[in-house]
Amino acid sequence: MAFEPDVVVHAAGSVQPTRLEREPYAAQMAQVGTVHTLAAARTVRAHYVLVSCDWVFSGMLPPHQRWSEDDPPEPINAWGRSRQACELAAQDYNGTWLITRPAGIYGVNLARPQGSGELSEHVWTHSSLPLRLVDRMRHDQSLPAPADGYRSPTYVWDYAQRVCELIAQDCAGVYNTAGPDSLNRREYLRLLARSFDCDPALVRDGTTAGFLEACGEDPHLAMPSNTALSDDKSSFVLGRHAVDARTGHHLMRSQLRGVLSGADPAQAVTI
């Protein structure tokens, strides 16, 4: 049976940033994936939606200033360059296209492990990086964190809702769809610790290299110093702001509790 969707959403791109630095082929595959999904969308004249990210920007902004959709992308690492290449491909689409830019996505992995795998271990180890860092703090392991690296953390459940709302309104072009906060790594991790009843003192002063090692990344990876995004455009169109990090963390915790208790994932959180 032929399948002709009205919308094609391309959300691939889960490769670690360090791997993209070491394996240029992986970065090229991300662009190829975009080209192929664009071709599929073109065939059925579908609305094309690309999930990009904040790392398309250089990070060269003073603290607490934010990047708008009109600012030119100037990525400083392979991950950002890969996302920019995908954006450029989407902008050449001769149909209706929408580029969305979340940042620092956090949330719970709702997938169930196959076989006899332990659900609790699977959820903690296969969810977003922030939740994996919470698991580290739950075991009293400290986290080195520098007071830079400003981002706008994005709650994945809210992001998905906002993208659906933008699609429903036939929005096109580039939209920043990140959370409303501008937090540096240390601020964010201490907020995360408090939200999950961990000791905020476990988030200690540290270097960017130390933080990257704790995240399982190459300590020499180039990290933008400020990629906080302005979400004024999307908030104006949607009539509401994105969920802030404090609220998002509590929603994530509620969803985590529901998933671990065996509840229906779709009913585990309500925004």
Residue-wise pLDDT tens digits, 124-153 = 888 889 999 999 999 999 999 999 999 999
- Residue 237, SS3? helix
Calculate ∠ Cα 108-112-114, nearest 5°.
Answer: 145
In eight-state DSSP terms, residue 229 is B
Q: How confident is the model at residue 116 (pLDDT cuts 50, 70, 90)?
A: very low
Instruction: Give the pLDDT confidence score for residue 93 in this predicted structure.
Output: 95
Instruction: Give the pLDDT confidence score for residue 1 in this predicted structure.
Output: 38
Q: What percent of the chain has pLDDT over 90?
A: 75
pLDDT digits (tens, 9 = 90+) for 218-244: 999 999 999 999 999 999 999 999 999
**In the predicted model, is pLDDT for residue 30 greater than 60?**
yes
Closest CA to 163 of 24, 20, 47: 47
Q: How confident is the model at residue 113 (pLDDT cuts 50, 70, 90)?
A: low
Instruction: Give the pLDDT confidence score for residue 115 in this predicted structure.
Output: 53
Q: What are the structural domains, with CATH classification, of the chain?
A: 7-262 (3.40.50.720)
Sign of CA dihedral 226, 127, 161, 12: positive
Q: Burial, 135: exposed, middle or buried (Cβ in 10 Å; 0-12, 13-18, 19+)?
A: middle
